[in-house]
Amino acid sequence: MTAGTATWHAWAMTAVHAPLERREMPAREPGLGEAVVAVAGCGVCHTDLSFLHGVKTRQDPPLVLGHEISGIVTALGERADGALLGKAVIVPAVLPCGECDLCRAGFRTICRTQVMPGNDRDGGFASHVIVPARFLCQVPEAALASHELWELAVISDAVSTPFQAVQRSGLRRGELAIFVGVGGIGLHGVQVAKAVGALVMALDVDDTKLQQATAAGANVTLNVKGLAVKDIRKQVRDLAHGISAPAALWKIFETSGTKAGQEAAFALLGYGASLAIVGFTTDRVEVPLSNLMAFDATVRGNWGADPMVYAELLEWLADGRIQVKPYVARRALDDINAVFDDAHHGRLLKRVVLVPA
How confident is the model over 147-172, as pLDDT tens digits?
Answer: 999 999 999 999 999 999 999 999 99
pLDDT at 134 over 70: yes
Mean pLDDT estimate for the chain: 96
Q: How many whole angstroms separate alpha carbon 260 and alpha carbon 287?
A: 11
Degrees to nearest 5, angle at CA 131 with 256 and 332: 60
pLDDT at 301 over 60: yes
Q: Residue 229 in contact with residue 211, Cβ under 8 Å?
A: no
- Residue 138, classified by CB atoms within 10 Å of its CB into exposed (0-12), middle (13-18) or buried (19+), is middle
b/e for 335-344, b at 16 or more Cβ within 10 A?
ebeebbeebe
Identical fold, 7-157+305-355 and 160-301: no
Strands 7-13 vs 21-26: parallel, antiparallel or unpaired: antiparallel
pLDDT at 4 over 80: no
Q: How many whole angstroms separate alpha carbon 281 and alpha carbon 316?
A: 30
pLDDT at 2 over 70: no
DSSP string, 146-181: TS-GGGGGGGGTTTHHHHHHHHHHT--TT-EEEEE-
Q: The whole model's pTM is what?
A: 0.94
233 phi and psi, to 5 degrees? -60, -45
Amino acid 10: pLDDT: 98
For domain 160-301, give its CATH number from 3.40.190.10, 3.30.559.10, 3.40.50.720, 3.30.1130.10: 3.40.50.720
Report the range of poorest mean pLDDT among 96-100, 192-196, 333-337, 347-351.
347-351
Q: How many whole angstroms separate alpha carbon 166 and alpha carbon 321?
A: 14
pLDDT at 1 over 70: no
pLDDT at 357 over 60: yes
Amino acid 37: pLDDT: 98
pLDDT at 5 over 70: no
| Residue of 57, 51, 63, 60 whose CA lies nearest to 12 | 63
- The amino acid occupying position 55 is V
Of the CA atoms within 13 Å of residue 137, those in its CB half-sphere come to: 30
pLDDT at 36 over 90: yes
Amino acid 184: pLDDT: 85
pLDDT at 176 over 70: yes
Q: Which letter does DSSP use for residue 61 in this model?
A: S
Strands 128-132 vs 137-138: parallel, antiparallel or unpaired: unpaired
How confident is the model over 256-278, as pLDDT tens digits?
Answer: 999 999 999 999 999 999 999 99
CB-based contacts of 357: which residues, under 8 Å, 6+ apart?
332, 333, 334
Amino acid 170: pLDDT: 97
Q: Mean pLDDT across the stretch 175-180?
A: 98
First to last CA, the chain: 24
Q: Residue 136 in contact with residue 33, Cβ under 8 Å?
A: no
CATH 3.40.50.280 fits 7-157+305-355, yes or no: no
| Residue of 43, 37, 65, 41 whose CA lies nearest to 52 | 65
Q: Residue 112 in contact with residue 103, Cβ under 8 Å?
A: no
Q: How many whole angstroms separate alpha carbon 109 and alpha carbon 306?
A: 6
Q: Provide the pLDDT confidence category of residue 3 given band limits of 50, 70 and 90.
A: low
Q: Where are the domains of the chain?
A: 7-157+305-355, 160-301
Amino acid 6: pLDDT: 84
Q: Provide the pLDDT confidence category of residue 194 given band limits of 50, 70 and 90.
A: very high
What are the E-state strand segments in the chain? 7-13, 21-26, 34-43, 63-64, 68-76, 88-91, 128-132, 137-138, 176-180, 199-204, 220-223, 251-254, 274-277, 298-301, 328-332, 351-355
